[in-house]
């Protein structure tokens, strides 16, 4: 009876969410449907075409990373179900950074699944208040994500969060937001285990008056460097990012028909760090002019 009620609640929430207006001018493009698919082993892509959401599965419950837009909830729910999994079997939800385009559907997915939510201390505070924090570089130019009504647990840098036999490790990567977090884990297939990196956004995007070159503000330029060094040093076989095109996911996926290992690129994280460092250099140069 309980599972039937949860199923009906999930379907009803999905139908209601389809009537939501878009959250931003870019959101209809970000929210284009994308059928869910296996990335490798027990790791699946369940997000939209423009915004990633990752499901790591086990027979004792699943972990969900990121939740796209508020209006993306039905897309994510449909993908999870189409892959043969149940939303109510999600036991842990974590986040890269708490902007509306990556945590927008988090509150609804938590309500449907009753999963535990965990975040960096800065992000947890934002989630539970349903605000854009004043020290967010984009304060004043973005909308908040819906408030998470459940308690959001916090963790330290390097914490390992487990659900049954699966676990993810948190890596604080400030820059895009003060509470940005990247995630690493392993997935195995036919006794071959690969290192996944879900690298948080690390672009220096802000409202017009924010200066990354001023140390009195946090995050500032030096904080990015620590995040870049994490990307350069962590084991990285398959890279995924909150905006999938930042990791060339669709280009790599298109080649999988002829190359089963097309998603694997041990140099991808280092290449991403190099490109991001150059973008930051250009931003700092513009601030000095």
Render pLDDT for 158-210 as a digit per residue (tens, 0 to 9). Answer: 999 999 999 999 999 999 999 999 999 999 999 999 999 999 999 999 999 99
CB 168 within 8 A of CB 197: no
Give the pair of three-digit tokens for residue 211. 């200066």
Phi, psi (deg, nearest 5) at residue 253: -65, -35
With 0-12 / 13-18 / 19 or more C-beta atoms within 10 angstroms meaning exposed / middle / buried, residue 4 is exposed
* H/E element, 182: strand 181-189
Question: Of 62, 99, 171, 220, which is the active-site residue?
Answer: 99
Lowest mean pLDDT among 17-26, 54-63, 105-114, 131-140: 17-26
Q: Does the annotation count 212 as an active-site position?
A: no
Mean pLDDT of 113-121: 98
Mean pLDDT of 112-117: 98
Render pLDDT for 234-250 as a digit per residue (tens, 0 to 9). Answer: 999 999 999 999 999 99
Question: Of 40, 44, 210, 212, which is the active-site residue?
Answer: 210
- Sheet arrangement for strand 160-163: 160-163, 166-172, 181-189, 192-198, 238-240
Average pLDDT value over all residues in the chain: 92
Q: Does the annotation count 49 as an active-site position?
A: no
Neighbours of 200 (CB within 10 A): 26
Q: Does the annotation count 62 as an active-site position?
A: no
Question: Of 40, 45, 62, 102, which is the active-site residue?
Answer: 102
Residue whose C-alpha is closest to residue 205's, from 138, 277, 135: 138
3-state secondary structure 125-169: HHHHHCCCCCCCCCCCCCCCCCCCCCCEEECCCCCEEEECCEEEE
CB 76 within 8 A of CB 105: yes
CA geometry: angle at 77 spanning 76 and 83, to 5°? 90
| CATH class of segment(s) 2-288 | alpha beta
CA atoms of 104 and 48, how far apart (whole Å): 13
The band of 20, judged by pLDDT with boundaries at 50, 70 and 90, is low
Question: Of 40, 136, 171, 176, which is the active-site residue?
Answer: 176
Render pLDDT for 49-86 as a digit per residue (tens, 0 to 9). Answer: 999 999 999 999 999 999 999 999 999 999 999 999 99
Peptide bond into 219 cis (omega under 30): yes
Per-residue confidence (pLDDT) for residue 21, from 0 to 100: 60
Q: What is the DSSP string of 57-115?
A: --BTBEEEE--B-GGGHHHHHHHHHHTT--GGGEEEEE-S--SHHHHTTHHHHHHHH--
Rounded to two decimals, the pTM is 0.91
CA 156 to chain centre: 18
Question: Of 97, 171, 198, 212, which is the active-site residue?
Answer: 97
Mean pLDDT of 108-121: 98
CA atoms of 269 and 264, how far apart (whole Å): 11
CA atoms of 231 and 224, how far apart (whole Å): 11
Q: Does the annotation count 265 as an active-site position?
A: no
CB 87 within 8 A of CB 109: yes
CA atoms of 107 and 149, how far apart (whole Å): 7
Q: Does the annotation count 220 as an active-site position?
A: no
- Sheet arrangement for strand 62-65: 37-40, 43-45, 54-56, 62-65, 90-94, 116-119, 152-154
Per-residue confidence (pLDDT) for residue 7, from 0 to 100: 43
Q: Kind of pairing, strands 54-56 and 43-45? A: antiparallel
Q: Does the annotation count 97 as an active-site position?
A: yes
Ranges of each domain in the chain: 2-288
Question: Of 44, 62, 101, 136, which is the active-site residue?
Answer: 101
pLDDT(14) > 80: no
């Amino acid at each position: 009876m309980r599972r039937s009620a949860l199923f009906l609640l999930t379907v009803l929430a999905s139908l209601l969410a389809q009537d939501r207006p878009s959250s931003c001018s870019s959101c209809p493009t970000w929210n284009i449907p994308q059928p869910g698919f296996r990335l490798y082993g027990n790791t699946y892509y369940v997000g939209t075409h423009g915004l990633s959401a990752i499901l790591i599965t086990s027979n004792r419950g699943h972990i969900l990373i990121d939740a796209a837009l508020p209006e993306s909830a039905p897309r994510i729910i449909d993908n999870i179900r189409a892959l043969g999994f149940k939303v109510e079997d999600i036991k842990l939800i974590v986040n890269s950074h708490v902007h509306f385009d990556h945590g927008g559907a988090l509150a609804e997915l938590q309500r449907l699944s009753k999963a535990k939510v965990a975040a960096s201390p800065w992000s947890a505070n934002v989630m539970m208040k349903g605000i854009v924090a004043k020290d967010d570089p984009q304060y004043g130019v973005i909308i908040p994500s819906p408030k998470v009504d459940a308690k959001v647990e916090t963790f330290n840098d390097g914490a390992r969060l487990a659900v049954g036999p699966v676990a993810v490790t948190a890596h604080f990567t400030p820059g895009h937001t003060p509470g940005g977090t990247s995630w690493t884990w392993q997935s195995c297939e036919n006794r071959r285990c690969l290192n996944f990196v879900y690298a948080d956004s690390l672009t220096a995007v802000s409202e017009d008056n924010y200066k990354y070159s001023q140390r009195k503000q946090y995050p500032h330029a030096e904080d990015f460097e620590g995040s870049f060094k994490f990307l350069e040093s962590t084991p990285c076989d398959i890279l995924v990012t909150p905006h999938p095109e930042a990791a060339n996911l669709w280009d790599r996926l298109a080649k999988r028909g002829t190359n089963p290992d097309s998603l694997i690129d041990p140099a991808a994280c280092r290449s991403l760090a190099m490109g991001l460092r150059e973008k930051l250099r250009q931003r700092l140069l513009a601030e000095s002019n």
